[in-house]
Amino acid sequence: MKIVLASASERRQELLGRLVEEFTTMISSFDEDTVMFKGNVSKYVEEIALGKANDVMTKIQEPSIIIGADTVVTLENRVLGKPKDKIDACNMLKSLSNKTHQVYTGVVLINTDNKKILKESIVTEVTFSKLTDNDINSYIQSGEYIDKAGAYGIQGKGGIFAKEIRGCYYNVVGLPLNKLNQMIKDIF
């Protein structure tokens, strides 16, 4: 059966390639802003991931397993999505400095053949060291913050900010491999 990743993320594509040999990608046109955060982060990321997977499902004819995912960073139950600009990114990184935050990824799998849907969310705690203004400005200048939840990429230069990680590292990158591997086995 065909596997379709409902994402343009190169990070997610690279990670999924570790689990399955063949898959295709299809960019979802689901508007994430239509999902309102109501205080439950797990449900929030699962709902966005489901929206992405459902959107891609409408564009596919052949039996497929569709994988949708969404990742957000939270600090004190406040969602830090992708920064709007450099100032927003700078403010996010300042707020994460010397604190522990949570990274949630919602993963949804849809089997279009048997109509089975699996939804999961994973949380990983990340503690940042104290960041100086120079640390933050240097990172912002690298451009790596663009299109990253919480304004950082742990798999890149942003990884030097992480003093401690509790939970799945790959969840912070954007696709929890261990959980996804089990979900792929369970979807048939």
Q: Which residues are tagged catalytic?
A: 70
User: Distance between alpha carbon 54 and the CA centroid of its chain, in Å?
Assistant: 17
User: Distance between alpha carbon 91 and the CA centroid of its chain, in Å?
Assistant: 20
C-alpha distance from residue 15 to each of 98, 107, 153, 157 (Å): 29, 13, 14, 18
C-alpha distance from residue 111 to each of 43, 54, 127, 176 (Å): 20, 11, 36, 19
Neighbours of 167 (CB within 10 A): 15
Residue where the block lists tokens 């890149």: 156
Asked if 44 and 57 touch (Cβ cutoff 8 Å), the reply is no
Asked if 97 and 130 touch (Cβ cutoff 8 Å), the reply is yes
